[in-house]
Structure 1
Amino acid sequence: MQQIGKRQMSILIIVFLIGSTPLFELGIKAKQDAWIAMTLAAAAGLLLTVMYLRIHKRAPEAGLSELYMMHFGKWLGGAVGLLHACWFAYESMRNVRDVGELTSMALLTLTPKWIVMLLILLASAYTVSKGLEVFVRVGQLLFPIAAVSYALVLLLLLITGLPDIHHLRPVLENGFAPVWRAAFPDLLSFPFGQIVIMLVFWKYVAEKKEIGRITYWSQTGVSIFLIMMNVVIMSVLGPELASVSSLPLLEVVQLIRLANFLERLDVIVTLLLFIGLYVKMTALYMASVFSVNAVTGIAYRYCVMPIGLLIYGSSFLEPNNTYHIWIGLDITLKVVPLFQVALPLLMLLVGVRKKYKAKTKTS
């Protein structure tokens, strides 16, 4: 069986959760209090991770689909596992489409989206076909590039004095209700609840006893970073401009002008978003393949191509980027709690009930 180390798992969690998140100013419904909504959602995300780890510890050698079958039975659990595999594929498709839209808007305006999307999906499919160990090594290579690039962007923003703290005031102008509505379920679902995917990959971590500690630290670090990025974007653009911007981070970086020499840093942001989108789409694609393999018994290598074709074909269902974003941020985020909260919670309760029955019989 493939195995990865605890540091590799940590990098996978960090790069996956960051992913395409900086593409959007999340929590904008709360206006200048978006960072408070992010903080609430991040705290709730950690509680979800506690639940996922409790479930994982019941069968450390089982993946998500195996856990479904253990808790709900072979047929019902298998059906739920396949449903979750379809959801992973759908989420991967969304990232494929994000790459196509980003490239068309920011880089290759005359290149057809279908070519860009085909190329990035082929790269992702090749990585998936090589297995988890190769994928996490790719993540290890990309992580330093992403970390240095984000640090450089933040440093340049501070040097140029673009952030204005007044854009974050007044705090809680309209009370706590808008903040709560922005945080739940939208911000909890994306990105923090997406760590449910680790129920697929935790079984492959060699140091099983370290999984909980490493996961908590990694998720906490990502949460702090995402809250900080949210604050920076809001303090530069302000709530009005941030709410109408399709790519807020890109617009922020385009404002950097240093000594009439250093400007046009769009390429850095585009590189960061490509790295995040590639890692996220590949992880979701791989999770779908693992889940289908576990339920059906079809060889892993035979699942890669059909699922890839399904992802690529479905990426054309949305007619334009406005519709794509609306589906993703208004419709999808209302459905995804079924997979992130409802089904894992049901597993947790079923497991407790079984444990209780076993104790009753022995007594």
Structure 2
Amino acid sequence: MGKETSSVSAGQIAIFIMMFSIGSTPMFQLGTDAKQDSWIALAAAAVAGLGMLWVYRTLQNRAPEEDMGGLLKLHFGKVIGIVLGVAMSLLFAYESMRNVRDFGELTLSTLLPQTPMWCVMLIITGIAYYTVSKGLTTFFRITQILLPVLVGSYGLLLLLLLIGGLIDPQRLQPVLENGIGPVLKTAFPDLLSFPFNQVIVLLVFWKYATGSKKTGAASYTAYIAVALFLIAVNAVIMMVLGPALTELKTLPTLEAVVLIRLANFIERLDILVTMLLYIGLYVKIAGMYFASVLLLRSCCKVPLKVGALAIAPLIYAASFLEPTNTYHLWAGLEMSVKMTPFFQIVLPLLMLIIGIGWVKRKAERQKASP
């Protein structure tokens, strides 16, 4: 595993960012509190998220050969760094669990309503464990294979929505009907926390691409591309369903695609959307799971396979804690996004400030010492 994780290219990092950021995001119509201005709220959060990506990248540049665990130790000392690193590892495991539950709920509501959810979630957790056990390079290569499928399919769906005459720009009117206040309230911290600030996992993975000088540029480019994609998807769904209907639907993307009817032949494309959501959820589950295991190894010297075996049952068991899908969605879209900014925003900004002028020198001294 040690050798395998040392050969990640800048292009693979960029593809991972796109696949990971898309993830489960198209399952939800984010920012519905802003009504038809939800796409503006998403754009505002994306700009702020780009600023946080710069913060993450600045922290990584202080010690390019360290991951998040090493950076936490450099900034806060060994003991506090380990405590914070373990906390971050558990946060990543929690986020992975949320996507496992999303996978189970999506399967029961669309394809296999008679299949026990425990079975579906056990299968996807097992697949994620198998992915982690095969190493980071293998996982990143899988994302390379899946990206053209994802991009091509979403492009096809957008084209069919246009041809079907389902997109009505008037549903985005009036712009800023209630002023900028509701838009900013919707964007911060909720939309900033999910989906944009979840790219904090890059502080775990960037270490393995230190040989490439293009990693930073590739990361920024990929982030901007996926942010534009998510904003476009949000706007398109709003133009198809309208703000009132969108807010009522649990899976608005599926609802929009179900409306496609062309030549009495092309229809029932919700199955395609479900498959795309499966791909995104798999990447999100495995990515968070991998970050949790690698961070645990960095902080506590837990071997990768041991960490993977320990985290997998934790993820699976935690996926049953929320009794209903309604509670699950409330906990994720209302509660979690209020708590995670401490780790995604406050902690990195604190590291940025306290480490100015000395952390980089400390890292260089540690690297030079025998």
Instruction: Give the residue type in structure 2 aligned to 1:183.
Output: A
Instruction: Give the residue type in structure 2 aligned to 1:155.
Output: L
Distance in 2, matches of 1:161 and 1:345, equals 46
**Which residue in the other structure is 1:136 paired with?**
140
Q: Check if 1:104 corresponds to 2:108.
A: yes
Alignment match of 1:150 (pick from 148, 154, 158): 154
What are structure 2's unaligned runs of at least 5 residues? 363-370
What is the DSSP-based 3-state SS (H/G/I as helix, E as strand, rest coil) of the residue aligned with 1:341?
helix
Matched length: 358
Cα offset for 1:207? 3.8
Alignment match of 1:345 (pick from 345, 349, 364): 349
Cα offset for 1:206? 4.7
What is the DSSP-based 3-state SS (H/G/I as helix, E as strand, rest coil) of the residue aligned with 1:322?
helix
Which TM-score applies when normalising by structure 2?
Answer: 0.95
**Which residue in the other structure is 1:333 paired with?**
337
Q: Check if 1:197 corresponds to 2:201.
A: yes
Instruction: Answer whether contact 2:98 2:319 (CA < 8 A) is retained.
Output: yes
What are structure 1's unaligned runs of at least 5 residues? 359-363
**Which residue in the other structure is 1:280 paired with?**
284
When residues 231 and 67 of structure 1 are mapped into structure 2, their CA distance, relative to the original with a 3 A threshold, is: same
What is the DSSP-based 3-state SS (H/G/I as helix, E as strand, rest coil) of the residue aligned with 2:353?
helix
**Which residue in the other structure is 1:45 paired with?**
49
**Which residue in the other structure is 1:26 paired with?**
30
Distance in 2, matches of 1:296 and 1:203, equals 17
**Which residue in the other structure is 1:227 paired with?**
231
Cα offset for 1:136? 0.5
Instruction: Give the residue type in structure 2 aligned to 1:101.
Output: E
Instruction: Answer whether contact 2:64 2:210 (CA < 8 A) is retained.
Output: no
Which of structure 1's runs of 4+ aligned residues deviate more than 2 A? 353-358
Cα offset for 1:355? 6.0
What is the DSSP-based 3-state SS (H/G/I as helix, E as strand, rest coil) of the residue aligned with 1:294?
helix
Counting only pairs closer than 5 Å after superposition, residues 254-293 of structure 1 correspond to structure 2 as 254-293=258-297
Task: Let me know the Cα RMSD of the aligned residues.
Answer: 1.3
Instruction: Give the residue type in structure 2 aligned to 1:167.
Output: R
What is the DSSP-based 3-state SS (H/G/I as helix, E as strand, rest coil) of the residue aligned with 2:265?
coil
Distance in 1, matches of 2:278 and 2:190, equals 23
Alignment match of 1:297 (pick from 279, 296, 301): 301
Q: Check if 1:115 corresponds to 2:123.
A: no
> CA-to-partner distance for each residue in 1:43-97, whole Å, 9 max, x for gaps?
0000000100100000001000111011101111000000000000000000000
Q: Check if 1:88 corresponds to 2:92.
A: yes
> CA-to-partner distance for each residue in 1:148-176, whole Å, 9 max, x for gaps?
11011001000001011111000000111
When residues 206 and 345 of structure 1 are mapped into structure 2, their CA distance, relative to the original with a 3 A threshold, is: closer
Instruction: Answer whether contact 1:60 1:208 (CA < 8 A) is retained.
Output: no
**Which residue in the other structure is 2:40 paired with?**
36
Distance in 1, matches of 2:257 and 2:92, equals 32
Cα offset for 1:262? 0.5
Cα offset for 1:357? 11
